[in-house]
Each structure stands twice: as C-alpha cells, then as structure tokens.
Amino acid sequence: MATTLVVTEKPDAALHVAEALSIKRKPKKVSVDGVPFYEVQKDEDRILVCSALGHLYAVAAKGNEARSQYPVWDFGWKPKHLAERGQRKQQKFIESISKVSKEADRFINACDYDIEGSLIGYTILKYACDGADQKAQRMKFSTLTTKELRDAYAKVSPQLDFSLAYAGMCRHEVDWLYGINLSRALTQSAYKASHRYATLSTGRVQGPTLRFVVEREREIETFVPTPYWVLKTIVDVDGKTIEAEYEIERFEVKSQAESTIKECAGKNGLIEKLESRTYRLSPPTPFDLSALQAEAYRHFGFTPRAALGIAERLYLDQLISYPRTSSQKLPSSIGYEEIMKGLSQIDAYRSVTAMLSASGTLVPNEGKKDDPAHPAVYPTGGVPKRMLDAREQKLFDLVVRRFLATFGQTATKQSDKAVIKVGDHSFFLRGSRILEKGWISLYGPYAKFEEITLPTLKEGQEVSITEISLEEKYTQPSSRYNPSSLLKAMEEAEIGTKATRADIVETLYRRGYVKELRMVATPLAFRVTEILTNYCPKVIDVTFTRELEGKMEQIESGKQTREHVVVETVDYLKPIVEGLKTKEDQIGEELTNIITEMWRASITLSVPCPKCGSILKVVRNPKTRKRFIGCSGKWEKKCTFGLPVPQFGVLTLLEKRCPECGFQMVQVRSKGRRPMVSCPNCYVNKLKAPKPTEEVTIKPTVSK
Amino acid sequence: MVDHCPLCERLKEPSSEFCSFHNAALKNLEDAYSSWSKAYDGKLTREEYYEKLTALAETGRTVKNLIEHLREKGEGN
Ligand SMILES: [Zn+2]
C-alpha cells in the first residue's frame, strides 16, 4: 500500500481536497500532535491531506546578530517560528507534517496555483519533508469544486512548477533585502539621535507607493486655486422649466460673464437645431482581481484588501473561482451551461439565467488581459451551504451579476441635444436615455445610468430664458488617493503584484504613514519620503522597482535565474545602504523632531482632564515605574486626577471614544495575543461599583 | 550652521529664502496671481488676492502659512 501526502495551503482547502478524493466514504479526520490531517482511502492507496497556514518558512538573516544590525546580505530560508515572533502554531504544523512525511512515498503540492502557493508547497516539501520537492507532483486547479479537484488529481503534473516557486523565492528575498536594510537604517539613525525607539519601515514597493501619496499631499498643500464663473440658466419650454448649459463652460474673466448675462436675461430664444446620437455600450469584461476590487470599493466601500479577503473565503467555500487572477477570459471549458444551471437554483438569479440560456449560444465579452494560471473570477454555480454574512453576500452577488452581464447583449443609449440661440449666444439642452437595456438588466444595481428625458421639442420652437445668473467657482486640487485608486496607481506604474498590492496599501496605514479613507500623508510620511529622496533617491524611484518586477516575471518563464536577480539586487543596494550607514547622524538629526512629536502624541490624550481641564498624559510613577494616566495640572492646579492603565504590552491611545462615558479608549498589544481595547475611565468606575459581579469589560478588537 | 526654512523644519534651498516645499507654494502663488488679476480686469490688489485665498477651502495649508508669513514681513517693512 502506497501513501501519498498532499499539501494544501489552508485547512478549508485540505477538507475539500480530501472530500473530492474520497469517492466511497467520507475522509477520516486525524490529529497528529494537535494538527489536523485528513485520511482518504483510494483504491489500494492511502492519501493523507495536510494543510499549511500560509507560509511556514520565511527569509531570515543567516547568523544570530542583533535585530538592529545592518547591512545584512547573508540570508537563508528558516522555519517561520525561528524567523519571526509569535509563530507557535506554524512550528506545530511543521513538526507534524515532517513526522507524517516519513510514512509517505509520494508527494503532491496542492496549494493555490500561483507564485505564493507554489512557493508555500515547495518550501514545505523541501525543508519539512526531507527534500521531497525533487520527486513531488503538482495539482493545478482554479476552483475547489469536487469535479475540478478530481480532474486535477487525475491529471497531476509529474513535477513541481519550480520556475514559479523560484520566482516567489526571489521576490521574498529581494523584498527582505530591501526592507531589512533600509528600515533598519532609518530606525537606527532615529534611535541614535533621539534615543527613542520607533519602527520606521520602507520597502521596495512600499517606498515608491508611499511617494505617490506624499506627492499628492504636497500638490494639495501647495495648491493655489483660480476663480472661474459659470452661467446658471433656466429656460421655459411650454411651461416646463429645464436647466440649460451655455456654450462657454467656464469664464475666466468675471466681466465677460456679466456682459453675457446682460445680453441674454429676460430674452426669448429659438431652438435652432435638434441632434440625436445613438451609442452602443458593450457588456463589461469578466472580473480580474483589480477590477473586482475596484467595483467592490465603488459599490460597497470595501478596501482592496477586504475585498480580496472576502473573495478568498468565497473561493474556500467553493462558490467562486480563484480570485488572485489577472485574466479577463472565461474559456468555455469552465462549463457556462452548468454554471447557469447551478445559479438558477438561487431565487435571485433564476429568471436572468433562464433568459440567458434561452437567448442561444453563450459568448462572454472577454477582455485583453490573460493569466497563464487562471481564468477570470467566476461563480462556480455552487449554492452557499451556510448563511453568508452581509459582506460575503454582497461580493458574491457582484461576482455572479458580473459573470451574467458579460454574456449579455450590447446595450444602446441615445443622447439628445437641442441648440437654443439667443442672439449670438448658444445654449444647450441635453438628455439621454437607454433604448435597449441588454446586459444592463443583468448587471442589476451595479450598472448605473442617469437618464434625463427632454420634453418633445421642435426646431424653430420659441423658448424663454426665465433665469440666468452667475456662479463663482474655483479650480480644485487633485483628490487624495483612496485605497482603491492607490492600488490602481500601483498597477499602472507596474509595481507590486496582484497578490501583494492590497497588503502594501494596508501597511501604509499600520505604519502611521497615512490616515483616513481619503489617504492623508502624515508628517512622518513626508519626512521619511524626503529623507529617502535626498539620501537614496533610487530606492523610491519606480523605475528600478518596475524593472525588477520584469526580471522576476522572467524567472517565471525560465528566461532569468533567481540567483542572478538576487546578486544584482545586492550589488545595487550595497553602496546605497553603506552610504546611509555613514550618514546615520545626519539622517537621525532630520528624524529627531518628528520622532519626538510622535512620541509626545503617543502619550498625550485628546480628552481634557474631567476635573480641571488640563492636558492628560500617560506617565510613569518615578518610584514604582508603573504607568498611569496623570493630569498635567498636578503642580499648578493641585489636580489629583489619575487613572490606571494596563501595565503590560504596548499601549496605544486610540481616536475612538468610549460609547458609555466618552473618554478616550486605549489599546494594549501583547505578544501572541489579540489586541485589547478598553476605556480607562469605565475600568475605574466599575472597580468603584459596590458589587463587582463580573470581570472588567475589556473588549477584544476584531483583528483579521 | 544648518540653515532652516523659516516656515518649517526643512533645509533652505541653495540661495533661497525657503525650502523646496515652501518654494513650490511660493511659485504657485506667484503664477496664479496673473490669472486672478486677469479675472478681475486687473483690479485685484495683492492684499485682496491674499485675502481671497486665505478664505478659500481649496487653498493649500502651506500656501496659507506662506501668505501669513509674507503679510507679516510686509507689515514689518
Ligand atoms: Zn519650509
């Protein structure tokens, strides 16, 4: 009896693979030192399906130097628990997989079919399974449906997709070299000058991305508007009032606009010409990941990272295909009819799927973009087996309706324009309406068109100007990025990948470089970007990053080697980082004020002392070293107000106010624990309460 | 002796009164004056120009700070 070990990326995927491979009975769930495996009996063979927890191995420095040490050029791949803090679970998974692998004589990587999945499987097989990567096979699939998984198992590739795994390794290594050296250079320089520890990070993609936001902020901060005037005109057509446009959209000289008003006010005009044009509106193309993220932001306000997270859950639930795709194609092999049949079991889609199926051959309006590994995102035709939450429901509906809309008929729209003459002046009335809905009715609420219906008009008809006035307006600065538009900017600049861009956008928030949904660059973002621009402009220039992306893509197609790209990166970075090292004092000097400001902000509460109105701060008792919230009116006003705060973990003052008492809430982050959010004021009041029947309410924040 | 911009912590640009950031604001402020002046048939004084910009939400914060500085300096002369 042979034993096959199948490695999947996540526990849910392991279950689906196991279920798909066990034909007669259900797979048996077994636990190896607390780590779940699924055992499947297939003919004479035994199949063990295990799962990773995303990456179990990571790049780390070779030696055991201090975490502040740099430059670092020597690295290797280490189990994640040895490379990063708080990875106990990952350690258990590695140990159990390693143990089980000894029983196996055949190995399959069944992680998601893309760079990350290929790399996750490769490192586990190579390091945890004693070099099994050399004999391992690869299952390739785009959905977790039983049919496709069985098919992928039957047609398993005889060896791993090494080029994809090497491209993944290279990306991690290059990013690690960038991140570790440049971030440590900044952090160390700041520490040297201010003796305050602040994590300052930058990265190969993060640096240029932050620069986009900073440059936009700079544009807004130095913006000088200029005035212009528009005419607001109301005309009366057979007793109906309609707003008209003047032929000149904006006047840059006020007096010119005023004289136009003088010449037209109270006058009658004639309809000189009526024009109508018909436009064809093609159906939308199938969703690639970035289009899905953009639509999810537009309609639901989901950040790109949230949209990807939800899409991945729907994928793991077998409801949609793999979302990390660049493709806008839907090959017929996915089985359009079958999918329509499946969707017709859901009430909301019954009539539209019937309509489509009845309309004849199904041909999607494919886009140009392609992806060698996956088709565009599409619904599998599966019906949700559990109650989807509101966000999942929304995204699922969007994916389904988009899929249906791509098969729809071209829609037609008519635009109407009437030209009104008042002396030498021309005014326009505009209308538009949908003539044939076509795909618009399939896309449902996601296809929005404003229809303006004009009354029946005739050439030569008389109309009167009932109102004409001047509106003063100003030119506007460019708008700030939001997570969705920043992702688009990264995509256009060709930096990052579909899998990593959303995370990088989120990192900018986490590192304190941006705040608010309309991304405002903080003073720290300005300072770090300016330092990088002054001392090492190359690292935040998109050109090098983009070129590197190109080379890494070449590794995927076998035209470039991982070693070559890594060596080239080290050669490129070495003089830059060594240069930074010699300028630590100068850089530190430039960072000192901002670090001090940040530190001050981190200990100063935004709510005043409820007793005396002075500023409240987190301070330490000089004798006991215990921290607490103290009032700065202690000496001048003899105020004795004070509140205890948790003693252990990193304390952060939140902007959030307590819903019960309005006091500022705090968060405590301890190693390996969920962050705890609490109100220091309510904490004390509950302690003072006569009967403390329950524990203090310290609500954990939901962190995903 | 390091020479800082009088309006922020940045270093002054060579042979200039301000840093690159405030110089960018100054350039925009100078460039836009001609458009504003033309818009009001050449009848807008500098002081009226500054007043209008200070009152507008569209005007960048750095520009507003710069205007304040220029006004103070003007008064001092
Ligand atoms: Zn300045």
Cross-chain Cβ contact A224/B38 below 8 Å:
no
Ligand 1 centre from A594 Cα, in Å? 15
β-pairing verdict for A227-237 and A35-42: unpaired
What is the mean predicted confidence (pLDDT) over A155-184?
95
Of A298-302, A360-364, A661-665, A700-704, which range is least confident?
Answer: A700-704
Residue type, A588: G
DSSP secondary structure letter of residue A446: G
Cross-chain Cβ contact B32/A224 below 8 Å:
yes
Report residue A694's pLDDT band, with 50, 70 and 90 as the boundaries: very low
CA distances A249 to A257, A271, A273, A427, A478, Å, are 11, 19, 19, 10, 20
Q: Residue A253: which of B9, B38, B60 has the nearest Cβ?
A: B38
Cross-chain Cβ contact B60/A223 below 8 Å:
yes
CA distance A27 to A29: 6
Please report where in the chains the tokens 């019937």 appear, as a residue.
A354
Please, where are the H alpha helices in A359-466?
390-406, 440-443
Query: Does domain A3-160 match CATH 3.40.50.300?
Result: no
**Cα angle vertex A54, ends A53, A55, to 5°?**
110
Q: Of A217, A219, A222, A255, which to mutate for an interface test with B (greatest number of B Cβ within 10 Å)?
A: A222
Cross-chain Cβ contact B58/A228 below 8 Å:
no
Q: Which residues contact B57 (CB under 8 A, 6 or more apart)?
A: none
Kindly report the CATH number that applies to the domain delimited by A181-222+479-595: 1.10.460.10
CA distance A543 to A591: 27
Distance from the B46 Cα atom to the nearest Cα atom in chain A, whole angstroms: 14
pLDDT averaged over every residue in chain A: 91
| Rg (chain A; Cα; Å) | 31
ipTM confidence? 0.96
Q: Of B8, B9, B44, B46, which to mutate for an interface test with A (greatest number of A Cβ within 10 Å)?
A: B9
Tokens at residue A501, please? 């861009």
pLDDT digit string, tens, across residues A49-65: 999 998 999 999 988 77
Residue A696 predicted with pLDDT over 60: no
Collapsed DSSP state (helix, strand, coil) of residue A580: helix
Of A99-113, A135-149, A321-335, A507-521, which range is least confident?
Answer: A507-521
A535 in catalytic set: no
Of A256-265, A436-445, A678-687, which range is least confident?
Answer: A678-687
Q: Dihedral, CA atoms, A181, A186, A191, A197, nearest 10 degrees? A: -90
CA distance A616 to A605: 5
What is the mean predicted confidence (pLDDT) over A5-12?
95
β-pairing verdict for A514-515 and A462-474: unpaired
Residue ranges per structural domain of chain A:
3-160, 181-222+479-595, 227-281+415-431+456-474, 289-406, 609-688
Cross-chain Cβ contact A253/B39 below 8 Å:
yes
Residue A420 predicted with pLDDT over 80: yes
Residue type, A656: K
DSSP secondary structure letter of residue A364: -
Residue type, A46: R
Chain A residues inside the 8 Å CB shell of B36: 226-227
CA distances A659 to A235, A294, A523, A606, A694, Å, are 52, 33, 30, 16, 19
Q: Pick one of 3.90.1150.10, 2.70.20.10, 3.10.20.600, 3.30.420.40 as the CATH number of A227-281+415-431+456-474.
A: 2.70.20.10
Chain centroid, CA A565 distance in Å:
27
Per-residue buried b or exposed e for A366-403, using 16+ beta carbons within 10 Å of the residue's own CB: bbebebebbbbbbbbbbeeeeebeebbebbbbbbbbbb
Tell which wins on pLDDT, A536 or A600: A536
B42: left (phi over 0), alpha (psi -120 to 50) or beta: left
Q: Which residues contact A601 (CB under 8 A, 6 or more apart)?
A: none
Ligand 1 centre from B65 Cα, in Å? 10
| Rg (chain B; Cα; Å) | 14
Cross-chain Cβ contact A225/B31 below 8 Å:
no
DSSP secondary structure letter of residue A239: T
CA distances A625 to A260, A620, A628, A649, B51, Å, are 75, 5, 10, 14, 52
Q: What is the three-state SS of A153-167?
A: HHCCECCCCHHHHHH
Please report where in the chains the tokens 């840059």 appear, as a residue.
A252
> Count of CB atoms within 10 A of residue A190's CB?
28
CA distance A656 to A667: 10
Cross-chain Cβ contact A218/B36 below 8 Å:
no
CA distance A65 to A600: 31
Q: Which residues contact A70 (CB under 8 A, 6 or more apart)?
A: A180, A181, A184, A185, A188, A577, A581
Distance from the B35 Cα atom to the nearest Cα atom in chain A, whole angstroms: 7
Q: Which residues contact A456 (CB under 8 A, 6 or more apart)?
A: none
CA distance A132 to A104: 10
- pLDDT of A155: 96
Report residue A405's pLDDT band, with 50, 70 and 90 as the boundaries: very high
Q: What are phi and psi of A73, to 5 degrees?
A: -120, -15
β-pair partners for A356: none
Chain A residues inside the 8 Å CB shell of B29: 224
* Closest by Cα among A295, A429, A291 to A368: A291
β-pairing verdict for A664-669 and A3-8: unpaired
Q: What are phi and psi of A272, to 5 degrees?
A: -85, -40
> Count of CB atoms within 10 A of residue A39's CB?
15
Long-range contacts of A38-43, Cβ-Cβ distance < 8 Å, separation of 24 or more:
A38/A14
- pLDDT of A700: 34
Which residues have CB atoms below 5 A from the ion given as ligand 1?
Answer: B 5, 7-8, 10, 19, 22
Q: Of B19, B53, B59, B70, which to mutate for an interface test with A (greatest number of A Cβ within 10 Å)?
A: B59
Chain A residues inside the 8 Å CB shell of B56: 225, 474
Biggest alpha carbon distance in chain A?
Answer: 97
- pLDDT of A698: 33
Biggest alpha carbon distance in chain B?
Answer: 47
Q: Among A38, A57, A70, A322, which one carries the catalytic annotation?
A: A322
Q: Pick one of 1.10.1490.10, 3.40.50.12140, 3.10.20.520, 1.10.290.10 as the CATH number of A289-406.
A: 1.10.290.10
Cis peptide, bond prior to residue A71, ω within 30 of zero = yes
β-pair partners for A652: A667
Report residue A111's pLDDT band, with 50, 70 and 90 as the boundaries: very high
β-pair partners for A59: A77
Residue B76 predicted with pLDDT over 60: no
DSSP secondary structure letter of residue A634: T
Chain A residues inside the 8 Å CB shell of B24: 218, 222
Q: What is the pTM of this model?
A: 0.84
Chain A residues inside the 8 Å CB shell of B35: 226, 252
Report residue A688's pLDDT band, with 50, 70 and 90 as the boundaries: low
- pLDDT of A599: 80
CA distance A696 to A668: 15
Cross-chain Cβ contact A218/B38 below 8 Å:
no
β-pairing verdict for A45-51 and A35-42: antiparallel
pLDDT digit string, tens, across residues B15-58: 899 999 999 999 999 999 999 999 999 999 999 999 999 999 99
Ligand 1 centre from B21 Cα, in Å? 6
